[in-house]
A = this chain, B = another copy of it.
Amino acid sequence: MEDQFIKAAGLIGDATRAAIMWTLLDGRAFTATELSIAANTSPQNISMHLAKLLEANLLCVEKQGRHKYYRFSSREVAYVVEAMANLIPKPEIFSQKKNENYPPVKYCRTCYDHLAGKIGVALADSLLKQKIIIENGNTFEISTEGEKWFSDFGINLEEAQKQKRIFLKPCLDWSERRYHISGSIGTLLLNKMLEQDWIRRTANSRAIIITGKGEKEMLKSFKIVV
């Protein structure tokens, strides 16, 4: 028990491997080469480290042609990295601005592969309030009206249900400490919003930005003032 804990801690503890984990935190899958660039080291070295992380089951790979895509093997791994990221004192981006003007872009984070942060939580709240999803014990379920809503939003629920991974699941966000939506539905919502340019990923950070269009549309669809 203890030795397994120490082993896991040591695996994440190395600087290069920590850089890998940090990069993977935004939920996307990265190739070995991309990770070597992100971690600022050689391909051979990254390959060695990835092998160790795979061996320990912290990551998993998917081969596509000559590329290999690495991602967290489980939600639990992402939690560890998130919890660690939360040790870092927050920069308080908003408090710097003293005037009432909304900043042009606002930040949220992607947690593993679904929306988290303030937006993710507000989104979950809104869907619950509108009875599009309903809480049932420990899980979220989609109501009959909700099914129509998702279809209007351009999300094919049948398709989502076919996927192996959990369909709809509350997931705790570390910064807000409240549940937001994860599972395949969470990913689909995130992708749809990216597709429609409501939100954009940033190049080298885990933050995503909300566009002007997104601001308007979110107010309209979710009654969220971002």
Q: Which residues of A contact B (CB under 8 A)?
A: 1-2, 4-6, 8-15, 18-19, 21-22, 58, 76-77, 79-80, 82-88, 138, 172, 174, 177-178, 205
Contact = CB atoms under 8 A, between A and B. Distances in A.
Closest 7 CB pairs of A and B: A13-B13, A9-B18, A80-B83, A6-B18, A83-B83, A79-B83, A4-B88
A21 B9 contact: yes
A138 B178 contact: yes
A175 to B, nearest CB: 11
Contacts of A8: 84, 87-88
A10 B5 contact: no
Given A5-B22, A80-B83, 10 more contacts: A5-B85, A5-B88, A9-B84, A12-B84, A13-B13, A13-B18, A76-B83, A76-B86, A77-B87, A138-B177
Contacts of A19: 2, 6
A224 B191 CA distance: 43
Dominant secondary structure at the A interface: helix
Nearest to A178: B138
Contacts of A86: 76, 79-80
Contacts of A1: 88, 205
A10 B84 CA distance: 11
Contacts of A4: 88
Contacts of A138: 177-178
23 contacts: A1-B88, A2-B19, A2-B22, A5-B18, A5-B22, A6-B15, A6-B18, A8-B87, A8-B88, A9-B21, A13-B13, A13-B18, A58-B87, A76-B87, A77-B87, A79-B83, A79-B174, A80-B80, A80-B84, A80-B86, A80-B87, A82-B83, A83-B83
Contact of A10 (B14, B77, B79): B14
Contact of A15 (B10, B79, B82): B10
A139 to B, nearest CB: 11
A58 B87 CA distance: 9
A105 B180 CA distance: 36
